Amino acid sequence: MIYRIKQFHWAIQSVFQNTDCEIPNKYLSKSELSLFMKVTKSERNHSIRVCKAALEYIRDENILDIDKCIMCKCALLHDIGKSKARLNIFYKSIIIIINKITYGNFLKYTQSQRINNYYNHPQIGADLLKNINEDNIDIINCIRYHHDDNNAKDNIYLKILKRCDNLN
Taking contact as CB under 5 A, which single stretch among the options 67-75, 87-95, 98-106, 157-165 is the one that binds Fe ion?
157-165
Cβ distance to Fe ion smaller for residue 65 or 120: 120
- Report, in Å, the least distance between residue 90 CB and Fe ion: 18
Cβ distance to Fe ion smaller for residue 32 or 79: 79
Taking contact as CB under 5 A, which single stretch among the options 19-27, 55-63, 74-82, 110-118 is the one that binds Fe ion?
74-82
- Report, in Å, the least distance between residue 15 CB and Fe ion: 17
DSSP calls for the chain: -HHHHHHHHHHHHHHHS---THHHHHH--HHHHHHHTTS-HHHHHHHHHHHHHHHHHHHHTT--SS-HHHHHHHHHHTTGGGGGS---HHHHHHHHHHHHHTTTHHHHH---HHHHHHHTHHHHHHHHHHHH-TT-HHHHHHHHTTT-S--TT--HHHHHHHHHHHH-
Residue 165 sits in the site that holds Fe ion (CB under 5 A): yes
Q: CA of 159: how far to CAs of 26, 31, 58, 64, 108, in Å?
A: 23, 26, 12, 15, 25
Cβ distance to Fe ion smaller for residue 132 or 167: 167
Residue 79 sits in the site that holds Fe ion (CB under 5 A): yes
- Report, in Å, the least distance between residue 152 CB and Fe ion: 20
- Report, in Å, the least distance between residue 78 CB and Fe ion: 6
DSSP calls for 17-31: S---THHHHHH--HH
Cβ distance to Fe ion smaller for residue 44 or 136: 44
Cβ distance to Fe ion smaller for residue 82 or 136: 82
Residue 43 sits in the site that holds Fe ion (CB under 5 A): no
Instruction: By CB under 5 A, name the binding residues for Fe ion.
Output: 79, 165
